Amino acid sequence: MDLSFSAEEQAFRAEVCGFLADKLPPELAQTVRDGRGLSKDNYERWHALLNEQGWLAPNWPKEFGGCEWNAVQRHIFEDECCRAHAPRIVPFGLSMLAPVLQKFGSKQQQDHYLPRILSSQDWWCQGYSEPGAGSDLASLKTKAVRDGDTYVVNGQKTWTTLGQYANWIFCLVRTDPTVKQQAGISFLLIDMDTPGIEVRPIILLDGTHEVNEVWFTDVRVPVENLVGEENMGWTYAKYLLTHERTNIAGVGFSQAGLAAVKRLARSQMHRGRPLIENPHFAARVARVEIDLMAMSTTNLRIISGAAKGQAPGVESSMLKVKGTQIRQEINDLARRAAGVYAMPFASEGVEGSNEAPIGPEGTTHVAAQYFNNRKLSIFGGSNEIQRNIIAKVKLGGGA
């Protein structure tokens, strides 16, 4: 046992820190630190800076222009990016679609789409969930019917994150309704400009527009946009889901969030003393910090195993449940710390306005974030589905 990082890993961390200090625009970091919404331009600007450095695709093999970093390096990179309040890398093209194309796509698809992902020429979104297919994803109904050298797509996708910015969508569609659900699904790439596609915003409970419904009416998609083989889409989707699980614990987000809670609790007064000195509040902070310290090591144990080539299994589900519990607890602490100033609705948080904040620094967005991050335990496989997976593997029974 040795809990320290190797000399090479420490040197790598220093390199990442140096890059962030030089290249991360301070105003972008401030936006992230304040918890304000990021615009499409904000994301693209950060992607371009990372791409210039050759660091936009940490998980891609070098042959496709990636870093081919191992799990420990990726962890260090994500950790430092969170600490520096860098915007997150939008995952849909880079860490969800790209691994599927690299593994199952044609040479032609790889050559065409992968460089366009790196250059931000294409913005991808994910067409998985449907109104009737949430936790039970395999029951999806959007259908694609072959007609000559095109598929005709009809149906509806939902919870499409940042779909309003996307020009391409990767979709799971039903191509064979006669077989077992999982066996009749295909993986299609669809240009959002194709006639028959309509994107409708869904406004979330905190007033933000980050997800959408995407409707398909007789949308004609060339057959060359099929990834891999027809009716093999479920296999590819499962492969994609394992990649979605990287950084699933969100340790960096939790550390940044906890630091923000402490800053706020030092400035807020309670009975004439800083709130951080209040035993009840301090106990809440301490409990979550203790949980986070342990989870951070669980995360490193799994990452270290992955760097040695061990495939993470049920541990991903464990990290998802514990990681989201911790992040949500931190969001709860932040709204508590804000006191009465959690009550105002920060319309300026939604996008763009320059109005002065109403409450003290660090209070403006905490309540909205508390509500927004209830999504963490719902999306990406709800925590109930993760518990089913854990129970199935560990208890051997059905889900």
Partner 1 sequence: MNFDLTDERQMLQDSLRRFLTDRYTTQVRNDILNSDTGYSTEIWAQLAELGIIGALFTEDQGGYGGAGFDIAVVFEELGRAGVVEPFLDSAVLGGGLIAALGTEAQKTLLEQVIDGSLLLAFAHGEPASRYDLSHVQTTATIQDDSIVLSGRKAVAVNAEAAGFLIVSARENGAVMDQDGISLFLVPADTPGLSLRGYPLLAGGRAAEVELDHVTLPASARLGVAGQAYPVIAERAAAASVALAAETLGAMETATVLTRDYLQTRQQFGRPIGSFQALQHRMADLLIELEQARSAVINAAGHLEGEPHQRDLHIAAARNLVARTGRLVSEETIQLHGGIAMTQEYELAHIAKRITMAEHRFGDADHHLEQFIDLSTA
Q: Under the rule (CB under 8 A), what is the footprint of partner 1?
A: 129, 132, 134-136, 139, 158-159, 202-207, 268-272, 275, 278, 280-281, 284, 328, 332, 335-336, 338-345, 347, 358-360, 367-368, 370-371, 374-375, 377-379, 382-384, 387
Nearest to 36 by CA among 156, 154, 207: 207
Cβ closest to partner 1, residue 306 vs residue 385 = 385
Phi, psi of 344 (to 5 degrees): -60, 145
Q: Which residue lies nearer to partner 1 by CB, 208 or 304? A: 208
> Which positions ≥6 away from 3 have C-beta within 8 Å?
297
Q: Which of 260, 291, 222 is nearest to 365 (CA)?
A: 260
Say whether 329 is catalytic. Answer: no
Q: Least distance to partner 1 from the beta carbon of 132, Å? A: 7
| C-alpha span between 369 and 333 (Å, rounded) | 11
> Helix or strand or coil: residue 261?
helix
Q: Give the whole-angstrom CA distance, residue 77 versus residue 195.
A: 41
Task: Write down the least CB distance from residue 148 to partner 1, Å.
Answer: 35
Q: Which is nearer to partner 1, 139 or 217 (CB)?
A: 139
Q: DSSP secondary-structure letter at 130?
A: B
- The minimum distance between CB 379 and partner 1, in angstroms, equals 7
**Contact present, 94 and 247 (Cβ < 8 Å):** no
Residue 183 parent element (H or E): none
- Rounded Cα distance, 191 and 225, in Å: 9
C-alpha 297/C-alpha 34 separation (Å) is 28
Q: Are 213 and 160 in contact (CB under 8 A)?
A: yes
Q: Which is nearer to partner 1, 65 or 134 (CB)?
A: 134
Minimum CB distance to partner 1, residue 296 (Å) = 24
Q: Is 332 helix (H, G, I), strand (E, B) or coil?
A: helix
Residue among 11 and 358 whose Cβ is closer to partner 1: 358
Could you tell me if 16 and 73 are in contact, meaning their C-beta atoms sit under 8 angstroms apart?
A: no
DSSP annotation of 135 reads S
Q: How far is the C-alpha of 92 from the C-alpha of 87, rounded, in Å?
A: 15
CB of 160 to partner 1, least distance (A): 11
- The owner of tokens 């057959």 is 223
| Catalytic position from the list 130, 210, 230, 244 | 244
First-to-last C-alpha distance (Å) of the chain? 36
State the minimum distance, in angstroms, from the CB of residue 76 to partner 1.
33
Judged by beta carbon, residue 33 or residue 387, the one nearer partner 1 is 387
CB closer to partner 1 out of 195 and 352: 352
Shortest CB 271 distance to partner 1, Å? 6
CB 220 within 8 A of CB 150: yes
Coil, strand or helix: which one is 141?
Answer: coil
Q: Annotated catalytic sites, by residue?
A: 244
